[in-house]
Amino acid sequence: MLHKCIYSINTNTLEVFVDKNATILDALIKRKLYVKKACINGACGICLMQLTSGDIDYDGRIPRGLNNQEISQGYILPCIAKCKNNITLEQRNK
Domain extent, residue 7, equals: 2-91
Q: What is the pLDDT of residue 10?
A: 76
- Across 46-56, average pLDDT: 95
Instruction: Specify the pTM.
Output: 0.91
Which CATH number does the domain housing residue 13 bear?
Answer: 3.10.20.30
Domain count for the chain, please give it.
Answer: 1
Over residues 52-63, the pLDDT tens digits come to: 999 999 999 999
Taking CA atoms, 75 is separated from 1, 3, 35, 67, in Å, by 24, 19, 15, 9
Q: Does position 11 have pLDDT exceeding 60, yes or no? A: yes
Over residues 18-32, the pLDDT tens digits come to: 998 999 999 999 999
